[in-house]
Structure 1
């Protein structure tokens, strides 16, 4: 008991103990956060799979625009009818499994006068020019997945150049405002693949594989917490907290100030 009292009065004991407590708490907190993210991601995947496989429903009308949210509406399987405004087509650069190229976004004007941007699909770089493609004419029906506007760029993404009409993400608000399209929906629709697999633009290329490494991250953080506690136990053992110190030779009597 006396040895333990002498150990806990040493500054080093409290410094190491505080550091071990801080690291353990931090690692456990990070692990719990990753567990929370894991269940969130699994729930998201389940919802997306259910929405993609569901029967098509009418795309949200103007009266519903204000209530659209990413968690409740993104990837809904929707349908809408109208005429493409081909003269207002926008190309957005993107890398894909087919190589680099462009998303072709074309506004669709519905019977009620509202406009919805349609991502008609992907074209390779050599087909960026609309003159090299045959645009759709007349009234068409589009089926696809509702997507939320990409208002924010990624860490290394280039900023949009609205004045030059060059966009590097699907920022629907910026695009429709620059083109003077109104009233325009705050979402866009990824058109599904057509009957001709060789046609361009190539629809049905929405990425639906969500990276889910949260379980491995959680295990890593919890393992680091356990390792911290293990190393702290070794420290206490060598300090003599559990009996004779393993750091001192047999028969050696340390002065009170030794190991300070």
Structure 2
């Protein structure tokens, strides 16, 4: 197969992969961030401690995370058909990709939020801050560098999932690799796809690491008290 024949196929496959990964990441972050924070808040010693809720949420997250993605995709076919009307194509792939990524990202968020200094939380509470204030002004901002790293890890995982989704007709680079690289023995196509994925993952990892480092540097220069005053304005100051 010549490059002129491969180029339109690769362009469409790259766009399909970007489409699936982009939407799945957005859903994973929007749903996984509050879920991860909730796991911390409802845990023992948390601000809204609730052992039953924490156990139920944790078990659901663990069950979904423990399922291999291909099995999860097959298990969700009925749900996927109900949501998008089909089980084939990039839109259909977004459903299992997002569902598989949400608990993955939630656990990373939980780990990041647990690293926040408890002294800051206590300081906000002593100034009259409620749970929402603590989450919005302390937990999320203080864990932002770790959350960026968590998002980077999630994006890379979703790219891997999307390649596996290609085995059941989801489209994208994985589908192209199966149809041409494996079934038609087009080894050149296979290696080009491997190179594209390797470069994409390297760029994403570099961008994520750079963003996290920049935030760490800014936090280090500002110092903890300065960051705290920027995130929480006391009633006395506002008066």
Higher alpha-carbon Rg: 1
- Tell me which interval the TM-score lies in, with the shorter structure as reference length: under 0.3
TM-score by length of 1: 0.25
